[in-house]
Structure 1
Amino acid sequence: MRNKILTLISTFGLVVLVSCEKDTPRYLPYEGYSFTELNENGGDWTPVLEDSGASIAVDAPNATDSQAYQDELAEVKQVMDNMTSEQKKAVKYWTNNPAIRWNEIALELIAKYNLIPGPNADGSYTLPNQANPEGPPAFPFAHPPYACRALAYISVAQFDGLITAWHYKYEYNRAAPYQLDEAIDYAYEENDIPSYPSDGAVIARASRNILTAMFPLEAEYLQGLEEENLESLLLSGGYVKSDIDAGLVIGDAVATTGLARAANDGMKNAQTPKAVSDSIKQAAYDRFGWAWDNLEIPERPVGLTPLFGKVTMWSIDDVESVRPIAPPQLDSQEFLDDVELLKDFARNMTDEHRRIANFWQDGLGTYTPPGHWNRIANEMIVEHQLNPLQTTRTLAYMNMAIMDSGISCWDAKYYYHYPRPIQMIDNFETIAGTPNFPSYTSGHSVFSAAASEVLAYIFPDEAAKVRGWAEEAAISRVYGGIHWSFDAFVGTDQGREVAQYTIDRAKADGADN
C-alpha cells in the first residue's frame, strides 16, 4: 500500500511542471474582444431553472424607423458626445462581456467576507445572522461552502437570463445602434448579435440582485456598480435605452427564480447549534470508533457547516449515491503508511512543495478554492474569446459542479468525521492553518477536480493542463500537512464523479448540437 501511495505522489509530482505561477490582480487586464461564435440558436438551449428561453415575457420592441426609436438613437449620440474621462474608463472596464466583471466582483466580496467571526469577551461565539447582517459579527462568513453557493447562484441566473435574451434577440432581430447609424462609433469589436434585449443589462441586474441577497451589507456598493455598468452599455454605442430596459426585465425575473430556490435549498440550516454538531460527532464515533476534534486556538465550539451535505444539489438527487468509500481504519497498515508519509514530507520540506502548498492555500481573506477556479475559468474564457452566452454557460456549469461536489464532500466529512493528521500524529506541525471541519475527503481536492472536469469539457484542448492543476491542488494539502494522502486522491475521484452529472446535463442542453 505504501508503494501505491508513493506512486500516486510521484504522479502528482509530474503535473507540477505544468502549473502556472500565481498572479492574482484584482481584475483581469482585458478589453472588449471579438467573439469566435455568435450562437444564433442559443435561445433554444435548455435553461437550468427556467422552463425555456421563452418563459419570461418580453414585449416586441419599437421598429427602428419609428420616431420613438429615432429619439433613442439621438439620445445615444448625445450622451456619447459628452462623455467624461471617467465614463470612458468605465466603458473600457466593463467590456462587451461584463459577466466576467461581475464574477470578479463576486470574488472580491467573497475575499472581503472570508474572515472567521471572532469570539465574544466570554469566549463564546455568535454566528453571523442574515436577519441581522450588521451583527456583530457581520453577515456572511464567506467560507468555501458559502462561496461556492454564491458563485453557483449568480452564474445560473446569468446563464438562464442570457438564454432568454438570445431567444428574443433572434426573434425580434433588432440591429444595434452603431449598425443603424454610421455616426455612432462602437466602443468594442463589432459583431452581428442583435441588441434587443441587452445581454449586458440582463447580467448587471441579475448579478446585482443575487449578490445583494448574498452580501446584504454591500447593497449600496452593488447598486452603484450596476448603474455604472448600465450607463456604459448606452455609452458604448451598442444599445439604446429600450434594449437596456428589456434586459432589466429578464434580469429581475431570473434573479427572483434563483433566489426562490436559494431560500429553500437548506443552506440556512447548514450551520448547526452545538447540540446537533455533538450528535453528528457521536454518531460517527458509534459507527466507526473515531471522531475529529477541533484543535483550533481559540476553539470554535461547532465545526463549519455540519449540514452543508444536506443542501439541495443541482444535478444529483441523492448525495449518498456519490458518497466515497470509508477511509482507512486507524490501526490499518494503510493509515500507518500515511502517518510515515506525512512525517517524511514535514521533515524534508522542499521549496517546491512549500510553493505548491502556498499557491493553493486559498485560506482566510482569499476568494477560497472555488474562487481560485473561477479566476482560472475567466482567464480561459478571455483567451478563447467566448461570447457572453458561452461565458455564462461555462461559469454556470462549473459552479454547479463545484457546489455539488462541495455538498458531497461535506456529506463525507461529517458522516465519517475522520481525524486530521495534527490530531493523530504527536507534535506534528503543519505549514498552514488547521481547518475547522473533519479531514476526509479534502475539499480542495473535490472542488478542484470538479472544476477541472467541467473546464476540460468546455475546453478539450486544455484538459491535460487543468486536470494537472487539480491534481496539484489536491497534493498541495498533503504537502501542507492538512490532509492525509487518501483524503486527496479519493477526493479527486469524488470531484470527478460528481462533475460528470453536471457534464451530462450540459451535453443535453442543446449547445453542443
Structure 2
Amino acid sequence: MKIRQYYLLVITGLTLLFVATGCGKKEYDKSIIAKADNYHSAVKKLTDVIVYDIFSPPVASRIYAYPSIAAYETLINAHPGYVSLSGQLRDLAATPKPDENKTYDFSLASIHAFLVVGKALIFSEEKIADYESNFLARLKKESGMSEQMFKNSIAYGDQVAQHILDWADKDNYKQTRTFPKYSIQYEDHFWKPTPPDYMEGIEPHWNKIRPFVLDSAEQFTPPFPTEFDLDPSSTFYKELLEVYEVGKNLDAEQEEIAKFWDCNPYVSTHSGHTMFATKKITPGGHWIGITSIACKQANISLMETVAAYTKVSVAMADAFISCWDEKWRSVLVRPETLINELIDQDWTPLLQTPPFPEYTSGHSVVSGAASMTLTDIFGDNFAFIDTTEMEYNLPARSFTSFINAAEEAAISRLYGGIHYMPAIDNGLDQGTSLGKFINARLNFKN
C-alpha cells in the first residue's frame, strides 16, 4: 500500500511539473537573439570568406555594403525610431513590409537577410550556408522560438534579401565584368604592372559602378597629382626620391606601421622555382574590424550595431568608387617602377605594390571616409586598441581616435614604399570630405 501511494505521488508530481513547464517547451526569450554579438559573428564570418575567396578591395567593399543594408532594412521594423534608407540610397525602392498578422523575430530575420545577401555575392557559398544552418538552429533552440515564428522570420528575411539583391543587380557590376581590360601605355608617366607577378590592373571600370550616396563617381575628384617630371630638380623627382630614401631608412616603428596596415588580400612570395601566396583582409575589412571593436567597447545595442556597420560600409563602398575613378583617370606610375629604372634596380618596397595605379592612395581615401563615419557615431576622442591584425600575427596598436588611426593608415603607404606623399595627403582629404558628406546626407533616425 505504501509503495502504491509513493508511485501515485511521483506520477502526480511529474504531471504537475510537466504542466508547470508548459508541456516541456521553453519560454520564448527574444533577448537571446537580440545580442549584438550574434551580428558581429555573422560579419566576421563574411570577412573570413572574403579573405578566403581573395576579393579585391573595391569588390570587397561592395560585398560588405549590400548585406549590411539588408540587415538594417529588416531590423528597423522592431525599432520605430530608425528610418528606412530607401529614397536615401540611390535607386533603392521601398523595402517590403512584414505581414501585420504574423509574428516575427526581426533580429533573427536581419541576420538571415545579411547572410543570404552575403552568400549571393561571394564564391564559397557553402561556407556561409553551413555557418548559417548551425548558427540559426542554435539561436532558435536557445531562445525557445516557436516553429511558426522561425518560419515567418526566415521568410521575411528572404523577402528583404531578395529586394536588396534585385537592387544590387542593377548597379552595373555584372556589366563591368565584360568590359575590356586595361591596355598598358608605355610612356614613362603611366602605370605599369609591378613585380613579382606583374598582374593586370584591377577594376579599371569601377567608376561605372552605381554609387550608394554620391551624386557621381567624380564628386570628390582630388587635385591633379604633381606634374610628372624626371628632372632631378623637379618636385615630382623629389617626391620619388623621398619614397626611396624613407624606404631605405625605416626604423622599427615605421616598419611595424607599414605591415600593420598592409591589408593586401593577395601577397605572393617567390623563392627559387616555388611560389606561395598569403591571404589577408582588405583595407575595408580592417575598418570593418575597427567598427566591431568600437561597437563592443561602447556596448551598444544590436540595432545601433547594425546601423554602425551599415553607415561605415556604405561610406567605404563610395570611397572606393571615388578613389578608383581617380586612379584610372590619372593612371600614375608607381614609385617601384621608376626607382628601379632610374635610381636603384635592386630596390624593393617593404610592401608588395598592389596591381593598380598610384594616385590617390586607396588606404588614405577609405580610411578618411571610415574615420569620419565612426567619429560621427562614437565621438572625436574615442580611444581604442586595434586588434584586427592579430590573427595575421601582427601586434595590436593603440589609437587616440579614429582620425588618428586614419592618419597612420595613410602614412603607412609611404613607409611601405608604394605611394608618393601627394597620393597620401590628397587621398586622406578626399576620403575625409566624402565621409563628411555621407554623414550629412544619410539619415538613420527620425
Fold equivalence (TM over 0.5): yes
1:159-190 alpha-carbon deviations (Å, 9 max, x no partner): 11111243599xxxxxxxxxxxxxxxxxxxxx
Change (3 A) 1:345 1:400: same
CA gap of 1:310–1:79, structure 2 versus 1, over 3 A, is closer
1:233 is matched by which residue type in structure 2? L
% same residue: 28
1:295 is matched with 194
- SS of 1:277 mapped into structure 2: coil
1:318-337 aligned at under 5 Å gives the runs 318-331=216-229, 333-337=234-238
* CA distance in 2 between partners of 1:377 and 1:446 (Å): 17
* Structure 2: 5+ residue stretches without partners: 1-18, 83-101, 267-278, 383-399
User: Would the aligned equivalents of 1:369 and 1:447 in 2 still touch at CA under 8 Å?
Assistant: yes
Q: CA deviation at 1:503?
A: 0.9
Deviation at 1:238, TM superposition (A): 6.2
Once the two structures are superposed, residues 26-72 of structure 1 have per-residue CA deviations (whole angstroms, 9 ceiling, x without a partner) of: xxxxxxxxxxxxxxxxxxxxxxxxxxxxxxxxxxxxxxxxxxxx999
Q: 1:75 to 1:326 in 2, by over 3 A?
A: farther
Q: CA deviation at 1:96?
A: 5.2
In the alignment, residue 45 of structure 2 is paired with which amino acid? Answer: I
- 8 Å CA contact 1:271, 1:304 repeated in 2: no
Counterpart check, 1:161 vs 2:74: yes
CA distance in 2, matches of 1:265, 1:236: 39
Q: Is the 8 A contact 2:219 2:322 kept in 1?
A: no
Structure 1 pair 77/317, CA: closer, same or farther in 2 (3 Å)? same
The answer to whether the 8 Å contact 1:381/1:391 transfers is yes
Aligned residue in 2 for 1:356: 257
Cα distance between partner residues in 2 of 1:396 and 1:223 = 22
AA at the equivalent of 1:400? V
Residues 1:465 and 2:401 aligned together: yes
* Amino acid paired to 2:287: W
Q: Provide the C-alpha distance between the structure 2 equivalents of 1:485 and 1:468, rounded to a whole number of angstroms.
A: 17
1:257 pairs with one of 149, 158, 163: 163
Deviation, structure 1 residue 204: 3.0
Aligned-partner SS, 1:441: coil
Query: Aligned letter for 1:359?
Result: F
Q: What's the CA shift string for 1:144-166, capped at 9, x where partnerless? A: 11111100111111111111243
Task: Describe how 1:69-108 pairs up with structure 2 within 5 A.
Answer: 74=23, 76-77=25-26, 95=35, 97-108=37-48
Which residue number in structure 2 is paired with residue 304 of structure 1?
A: 202
SS in structure 1 of the partner of residue 222 of structure 2: coil
Asked if 1 retains the 8 angstrom alpha-carbon contact of 2:220 and 2:433, the reply is yes
Q: Deviations over 1:267-321 (max 9, x none)?
A: 2244566x5522xx65x97xxx831111233333x31010111111110121112
Aligned residue number for residue 235 of structure 1 = 141
Single out whichever of 384-393 and 200-209 deviates more from structure 2. Answer: 200-209
* Richer in strand (by share): 2
Whether 1:277 and 2:182 are equivalent positions in the alignment is: yes
- The aligned counterpart of 2:359 is 440
For residue 61 of structure 1, what is the aligned residue in structure 2?
Answer: none
Shift of the 394–438 alpha-carbon distance from structure 1 to 2, 3 Å rule, reads: same
Counterpart of 1:77 in structure 2: which amino acid? K
Partner AA of 2:430 in structure 1: Q
Instruction: Name the amino acid aligned to 1:151.
Output: Y
Amino acid at match of 2:284: P
In structure 2, C-alpha distance between the alignment counterparts of 1:441 and 1:478, rounded to whole Å = 12
Are 2:384 and 1:483 aligned? no
Give the direction of change, closer, same or farther, for the CA distance of 1:330–1:162 in structure 2 (3 Å limit): same
- For residues 438 and 72 of structure 1, do their structure 2 counterparts lie closer, same or farther at Cα, with a shift above 3 Å needed? farther
Amino acid at match of 2:225: P
- Name the structure 1 match of 2:174: 268
Q: Identify which range, 426-435 or 456-465, moves more after superposition.
A: 456-465
1:216–1:99 Cα change, 3 Å? same
Aligned counterpart for 1:205 among listed residues 105, 112, 116: 112
The 3-state SS of whatever aligns with 1:322 is: coil
Runs of 4+ in 1 over 6 A off after TM superposition: 70-73, 91-94
Name the aligned partner's letter for residue 162 of structure 1.
Answer: L
> Larger deviation: 427-436 or 199-208?
199-208
CA contact (8 A) 1:272 1:305 kept: no
1:1-46 deviations in Å (ceiling 9; x for gaps): xxxxxxxxxxxxxxxxxxxxxxxxxxxxxxxxxxxxxxxxxxxxxx
Q: How does 1:23-422 map to 2 (within 5 A)?
A: 74=23, 76-77=25-26, 95=35, 97-114=37-54, 142-167=55-80, 196-219=103-126, 221-237=127-143, 239-271=145-177, 276-278=181-183, 290-300=189-199, 302-331=200-229, 333-363=234-264, 364=266, 365-422=279-336
Partner of residue 96, structure 2: none
Contact 1:296–1:436 (Cα < 8 Å) also in 2: no
Contact 1:401 1:451 in 2 (8 A): yes
Report how far residue 424 of structure 1 moved: 1.7
- The whole-number CA distance in structure 2 between the counterparts of 1:410 and 1:242 is 47
Alignment-derived partner of residue 27 in structure 1: none
Separation in structure 1 between the aligned mates of residue 79 and residue 193 of structure 2, nearest angstrom: 50
Which protein has the larger Cα radius of gyration, Structure 1 or Structure 2? 2
**1:196–1:243: 8 Å Cα contact kept in structure 2?**
yes
Using the size of structure 2 for normalisation, the TM-score is 0.76
Deviation, 1:235, is: 2.8
Secondary structure at 2:151 match in 1: helix
Q: CA deviation at 1:355?
A: 0.3
Contact 1:201/1:247 (CA < 8 Å) preserved in 2?
yes
- 8 Å contact from structure 1 (residues 199, 247) kept in 2: yes
In the aligned structure 1, how far is the partner of 2:33 from the partner of 2:196? 43
Report if aligned partners of 1:96, 1:200 keep a CA contact under 8 Å in 2: no
1:366 Cα offset (Å): 1.1
Confirm or deny: 8 A CA contact 1:272 1:307 kept in the other structure: no
**Equivalence for 1:493:** 429
In the alignment, residue 295 of structure 1 is paired with which amino acid?
T
Letter in 1 for 2:226: P
Distance in 2 separating the partners of 1:392 and 1:202: 13
Could you tell me how far apart the structure 1 residues matched to 2:23 and 2:419 are?
Answer: 63
Paired residues of 1:76 and 1:240 also in contact (CA < 8 A)? no
Distance 1:256 1:421, change over 3 A: same
Contact 2:26 2:144 in 1 (8 A): no
Range with greater deviation from structure 2 (405-414 or 490-499)? 490-499
Structure-2 separation of matches of 1:317 and 1:326: 21
CA contact (8 A) 1:314 1:404 kept: yes
